Structure 1
Amino acid sequence: MSKQNIRELTILGLLTAILFLGQVFLAVLPNVEVVSLLIILYTLTCGRKVFLIIYAFVLLEGFCYGFGMWWFSYLYLWSILALAAYIFRENRSLLFWSILSGFFGLAFGALCTLPYLVVGGIGAALAYWTSGLLFDVTHCIGNFIVCLVLFRPLRHLLERLYTGCHTPL
């Protein structure tokens, strides 16, 4: 393994740890989180390697909080956001990224219903989704503001950290 690969693997591990710790430390604030912003930024910076970070993060979440129904939705939720960010990776508008992050927060509860739909049917999925609508609205607002404030400085920092060390996936 080359020094370049070791450096990149170390950075990917560090980014995963930052993602996980950001989620843990902000867990006390209802639906205010940096995970959505970091997934977007990691996608823009690391490209397809973001999926290595996402699945390591989801595994850490399972080990920390248990592998409940919510955990299955995390397996695809963050990938959906990463795919959206990857599709629009050429966009340079801060407002666009803030709206995407906010929309993802609003859609989060609806996207989480899949496991409940499979296990309990449409009634369980609708009950789960509607019971969390207020949290989805606060999630939307929180994501929008966090992205609006932190997107540019964190993107600049990540680009400086990651540039020159990555190899194609």
Structure 2
Amino acid sequence: MNPYKLTLLAILAALAIVGRYAFVFIPNVQPVTSIIIITGLILGPGAAVILSLLITFVSNMLLGMGIWVIWQTVAWGIIGLISGIIGNVFTRISFPFIVFFSIFCGYFYGLIISLTNYQISGEFRAYYFSGLLFDTNHAIGNAVFMMFFYPFISYLVKKYAADTFAKKNADR
């Protein structure tokens, strides 16, 4: 992994961690899932999985560790992996699809996190259904953050990548 990609991942991780901490007062609303999706779509599945591990570990150092950290890592890692695969397979992805995918990921994240309770108590349905309102908050938050972050982050990443590519070719 080149220094540019590492620096970009560090900046995106810092943005997600600060955003998660800043929105802690609104249940299940944070920019983490949207930033992981954007990273997967633009930089690939490997970068998105690394970012999900970094964000989960560092943000939970601030917000508190527990058994749920394992499932957060799994959920965000899968979301990053799927986003990266979508970004690698399709060259042009419509923005409404990206927003819809971020909404879907809010509910998918909730499903995976509900497995925490199943792991501990053996009960799943009651915990999952009682958490649907929180999953809806997450899904709506993902859509809002995606509408705000995707145009900005994708423009900057693609512009910097194009400038870096142009400089490399000029040096030859």
The alignment's TM-score, normalised by the length of structure 1, stands at 0.82
- In structure 2, give the amino acid aligned to 1:60: V
Written as runs of structure 1 = structure 2, the 5 A alignment for 1:35-50 is: 35-47=32-44, 48-50=46-48
- Which residue of 2 is the match for residue 75 of structure 1? 73
- Which residue of 1 is the match for residue 168 of structure 2? none
- Which residue of 1 is the match for residue 139 of structure 2? 140
Work out the number of aligned pairs and report it.
Answer: 160
1:101 CA displacement:
0.4
**C-alpha contact (below 8 Å) 1:69/1:115 kept by paired residues:** yes
Please give the alpha-carbon distance, in whole angstroms, between the structure 2 residues aligned to 1:137 and 1:53: 24
After TM superposition, what 4+ stretches of structure 1 lie above 3 angstroms from structure 2? 4-8, 161-165
Structure 1 pair 147–11 and aligned structure 2 pair: CA distance change class (3 A): closer
Instruction: Compare relative contact order (CA 8 Å, sep 6+) and give the higher one, 1 or 2.
Output: 1
C-alpha RMSD of the superposition: 2.2
- In structure 1, give the amino acid aligned to 2:110: G
Partner SS state of residue 2, structure 2: helix
Percent of aligned pairs sharing the same letter:
27
Please give the alpha-carbon distance, in whole angstroms, between the structure 2 residues aligned to 1:26 and 1:162: 30
Please give the alpha-carbon distance, in whole angstroms, between the structure 2 residues aligned to 1:99 and 1:60: 28
> Structure 2: which 5+ residue stretches go unaligned?
166-172
Please give the alpha-carbon distance, in whole angstroms, between the structure 2 residues aligned to 1:56 and 1:143: 19
Structure 1 pair 12–150 and aligned structure 2 pair: CA distance change class (3 A): closer
1:47-95: CA deviations, max 9, x gaps? 1222222111111123112221221111101111112212221242101
